[in-house]
Structure 1
Amino acid sequence: MQASNGPSAFHRTLAGPGRGWAVLALSLALALAACQAPEAAPAPHAGTTASATPAATAAPAAAPAPAATTSADADAATADDDLPAPLPDDSYRNATLRPEYSACVGASGGVTPALQACGDEEFAYQQGRLRAAFATIVAGPDGKAKDALMDEQAAYMDDTDRYCSWNPEEDGQGQMLDAQSCRINRTANRADQLQALTSK
């Protein structure tokens, strides 16, 4: 297409005498705007319902799709939600317990009430050891060392309550048995520590 050096006959006719280039400039501006602007949807006639409006013009622009996630991402997120809070040290997981407890667990057949009964029995035994050792310390002479030990014992029990707990309204039997095992281990380990102090 050849470039035009002046107004076409059509634009000269519209401009008429005395209107000159102003009308031409306005005509070109309108033509350029019409080429660049998106076509507006026609307004519905009065009395039409929303269902008569074409879906392409009635629906708002769709939101951008979320970033694609893999099944591995979803599994990792679920696993993180299911994991308990990390324990501060090994005293919550391991302790030297009686052979009778191991035998009881072995004979339980993995049945929750039987496992719980084994744990209750072992916890009562370890708690008896802890109380006896602590009573010996309480009966001893007063002093800064005794005061520090009392504070240490209170902090130990607070940490045990914090990490060895379960919520019966939200947690299941597995979490209950884990909390029981945690408490047994902490009690047995603390009993060992206090008995070692009283034997000096």
Structure 2
Amino acid sequence: MGSAPVTGIEDRVAYRLVKRAFDIVFSAAVLVVFCWLFAIIAVLIKVDDPKGPVFFSQERVGKDGRTFRMLKFRSMCVDAEEKLAELRELNEKTGPVFKIAEDPRITRVGKWLRKLSLDELPQFVNVLRSDMSIVGPRPALPAEVATYDDYQRQRLLVKPGLTCYWQTRRNRDSITFDEWVDLDLLYIKKCSAWSDLKLIVQTVGVVLTAQGN
């Protein structure tokens, strides 16, 4: 990508209007068509861990640094946030991102929700609210964004998304944080209706082959 700043996205008015219209129609259709699946997942989560809520809400950073509450189906134990500190030294990712392959906080149902990427489904509500888009850089935590340099902060030039280049890579677990940022900025620089459509199709393939984690 080089060090040159990414520019021009705000001038692409037609693309941004088409993208928003697609986000509304697509996310509304998913929420209606798969409402039965939402109900089944909710029941499974409550049966597996009756004391915890069905949904997990967490503050994330969106376009231009605006924060919002991102929704997910809960895939971890209720006190997962409190247990994070004692697991920090096991982090397998570079940069500010935390991830370990065998996270002990993940519930039995949560393991399969993540494998099938079903824990992300409630984020279609965030898309309808205009917090997110279908395609865009994955939304980061405020603590992560606080460590960004000027180059990395360019991830915030567009709305965060449900899927992105990193999300569709088979080797995504081995991608460093800097490479992840490069992929996000490449998307912002090259984004188009056609590239968004290709990423959505690739994401469907990832879900159907259970490549989530």
Fold equivalence (TM over 0.5): no
Bin the TM-score by the shorter chain.
under 0.3
Q: TM-score when scaled to structure 1?
A: 0.27
Point out the structure with max Rg over C-alpha. 1
Structure whose residues are more often strand by fraction: 2
Structure whose residues are more often helix by fraction: 1
Q: TM-score when scaled to structure 2?
A: 0.25
